[in-house]
Chains A and B, each alone.
Chain A
Amino acid sequence: MNGFLAILQRDLRLALRQGADSVMVVAFFIVTTTLFPFGVGPEANILARIASGVIWVSALLAAMLSLERVFQTDYEDGTLELLTLSPVSLELLVLGKVLAHWLTTGLPLIIAAPLMAVMLNMDQNGFVTLMIAMLLGTPALSLIGAIGAALILGARRGGVLVSLLVLPLYIPVLIFGAGAVEAALLGISATAQLQIMGAILLITLAATPFATAHAVRQAME
């Protein structure tokens, strides 16, 4: 457990001292969302209709873009090699890195999401569901994305490749995340969708650290 906390602390400290990374992810999210009113036109009711989907897709892309830094710098400077050699289980360390990734990217996105919902004219009764759905969904995105981030270590053109690997696996989160907000907007209970999202989070939490750790070990061979 000490190793988990140590790696979490280290990654958070690195993210805070370098600073720009988290801000960049949120900025990307906001800019991408802003593009849609230009693309589909500024009519308020159309924007209100597509708001939940736009916010989810932008959040997905923002989460994906930041994946590279989960392992890449540690891979380049050799830290990852020392981590795989350490007596602490690699699965736990991977989980710590993923949690740090979520705290520095997923959490800021959740805070920025209602702001964009207001700008896109989304109805107010969807806000709470949107935030709960993102609270359940974004950790799953970080967990799934970490597999892709570990698989591309040492690959050519890794950044483009990771999108091809990770985005198809993100689709269930997108479907139920947008579905939950949609239900709330229609005034139906969104419990079913939120429960499925909780199930996705639990499954990914239990299964992906093993896959990610395996991929990291492969990269180190």
Chain B
Amino acid sequence: MHRFAKPSVFLKLTDPLLPWLAGATAILIATGLYFALFASPLDYQQGDTVRIMYLHVPAAWMGLFCYVGMAICGAMSLIWKHPLADICARATAPIGATFTALCLITGSLWGEPMWGTWWVWDARLTSMLILLFLYLGYIALVNAFDDPERGSKAGSALALVGAINVPIVKFSVDWWNTLHQPASIVRMDGPSVDPSMQLPLALMILGFTCYYFVLLILRVRLELNERRIRALQLSGMFDERSDQEAEKANSYDAGHNAEASQ
């Protein structure tokens, strides 16, 4: 694993991977959307609104997935001090925050016709909202320092402390008996969702996951390129200055020599 932690190796590896991932994302989400919007049955109670599920559940899954990824990256950057782990954690945070916000918004749109309210202070909803706050806190903390290195380290510690919320979100519907329905996909005795709905759901979840990796690779490459530009600019500045200094020194030497020779 440590071999892959070098930025150059990362770029070389992800270059051929990126078009495949992007293609897989497009195909999975396109077929997933087709099944979700046209080729899946209506819910006998909810009618067409059940189709919100095909966006809501994958977004919720990605919100948690990204946070776990961020916490793992944070742990890796604290333990092995990999610069790439820092960059991955930083790049993941806004993506995860967006998915979490998307989950809350679609959930709210789904809740209005079904529960008759945009928002309830239900355990699952509240813990998901806290997850969004944790993301925002992480992003704010990482960007609050003049030294980006220090920001990443503080962020890694915060990501690990906040990871305690992830099991709370997952099990909140089992621990508290609330309005949000209990776990129906990842549970001990198999999913309770109808098979005809499982297919589009699985396609969408896979598609969202691929989409995350595409975004992650793009964002990490952006950050690496930005760093390289900064390094080049800095070295360029020093080169210029050293050139000028060398010139000055030369002219001084020349003048001095000329004086001496007179």
Q: Which residues of A contact B (CB under 8 A)?
A: 147, 151-152, 154-158, 161, 164-165, 167-169, 171, 211, 214-215, 218-219, 221
Contacts and interface: CB of A to CB of B under 8 A. Distances in A.
A154 B150 contact: yes
25 contacts: A147-B161, A151-B157, A151-B158, A152-B144, A152-B154, A155-B141, A155-B145, A155-B154, A158-B144, A161-B140, A161-B141, A164-B136, A164-B141, A165-B137, A165-B141, A167-B133, A168-B134, A168-B162, A171-B130, A211-B157, A211-B160, A214-B78, A218-B150, A218-B153, A219-B154
A218 B78 CA distance: 10
Contacts of A215: 154, 157
B111 to A, nearest CB: 21
B133 A168 contact: yes
A119 to B, nearest CB: 27
Nearest to B78: A214
B140 A151 contact: no
Contacts of B78: 214
Contacts of B134: 168
B141 A152 contact: yes
Contacts of A167: 133
A152 B161 CA distance: 15
Contacts of B259: none
Given A154-B150, A171-B130, A218-B150, A165 B158 contact: yes
Contacts of A219: 150, 154
A164 B133 contact: yes
B161 A211 contact: yes
A30 B149 CA distance: 41
- Between B144, B150, B157, B160, the greatest number of chain A beta carbons within 10 A of the residue's beta carbon is seen for B144
A151 B145 contact: no
Given A151-B154, A211-B157, A161 B144 contact: yes
A169 B154 contact: no
Given A214-B157, A215-B154, A169 B140 contact: no
Interface in B125-165: 130, 133-134, 136-137, 140-141, 144-146, 150, 153-154, 157-158, 160-162, 165
Nearest to A156: B144
Contacts of B145: 154-156
Given A157-B144, A161-B144, A168 B161 contact: no
